[in-house]
A and B are shown apart, each in its own frame.
Chain A
Amino acid sequence: DTGVSQDPRHKITKRGQNVTFRCDPISEHNRLYWYRQTLGQGPEFLTYFQNEAQLEKSRLLSDRFSAERPKGSFSTLEIQRTEQGDSAMYLCASSSQGGNTIYFGEGSWLTVV
Chain B
Amino acid sequence: QSVLTQPPSASGTPGQRVTISCSGSSSNIGSNTVNWYQQLPGTAPKLLIYSNNQRPSGVPDRFSGSKSGTSASLAISGLQSEDEADYYCAAWDDSLNGLYVFGTGTKVTVL
Same complex: no
